[in-house]
């Protein structure tokens, strides 16, 4: 069974540009959540999608947005990139939101974004 797949794995952008990251969850998983990981800050929750609806949103500016498609694949977009957006962006999937109480979030390997 394929795991969570994130693309691209690495990308470099310049300030002011925008970027779109993609996440394909494990087959059958309908909940997708996104996290930003930076050194010293740990993982910060961005948002969660289930059945194409955003269920939860973290404390990030409106430049960060996302969506989920009918096949459960998700994308997140960051517009007007800033230097501080450089981070590892992790996607995690689960069968359903409530499944998280078992800890069964399955993470991808992440997309490493560098903003110059």
Partner 1 sequence: AQTVTQSQPEMSVQEAETVTLSCTYDTSESDYYLFWYKQPPSRQMILVIRQEAYKQQNATENRFSVNFQKAAKSFSLKISDSQLGDAAMYFCAYRSQNTGNQFYFGTGTSLTVIP
**For partner 1, which is the closer residue by CB, 8 or 16?**
8
Q: Please, which of residues 76-105 interact with partner 1 by CB under 8 A?
A: 88, 90, 92, 94, 97-98, 100-105
What is the residue-wise DSSP string for 35-66? Answer: EEEETTTEEEEEEEEETTEEEEE-S--TTEEE
Maximum separation of any 2 CA atoms in the chain, in Å: 40
Pure H helices in the chain: none
User: What's the min distance (Å) between Cβ of 94 and partner 1?
Assistant: 6
The site for partner 1 (CB under 8 A) is made up of 3, 31, 33, 35, 40-45, 48, 50, 55-56, 58-59, 88, 90, 92, 94, 97-98, 100-105, 107-110
């Amino acid at each position: 069974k394929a795991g969570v797949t994130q693309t691209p794995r690495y990308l470099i952008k310049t300030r002011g540009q925008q970027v779109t990251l993609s996440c394909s969850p494990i087959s059958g998983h309908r909940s997708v959540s996104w996290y930003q990981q930076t050194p010293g800050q740990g993982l910060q929750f961005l948002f969660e999608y289930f059945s194409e609806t955003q269920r939860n949103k973290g404390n990030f500016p409106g430049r960060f947005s996302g969506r989920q498609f009918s096949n459960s694949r998700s994308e997140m977009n960051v517009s007007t990139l800033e230097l501080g957006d450089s981070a590892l962006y992790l996607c995690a999937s689960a069968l359903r939101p409530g499944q998280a109480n078992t800890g069964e979030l399955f993470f991808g390997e992440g997309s490493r974004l560098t903003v110059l």
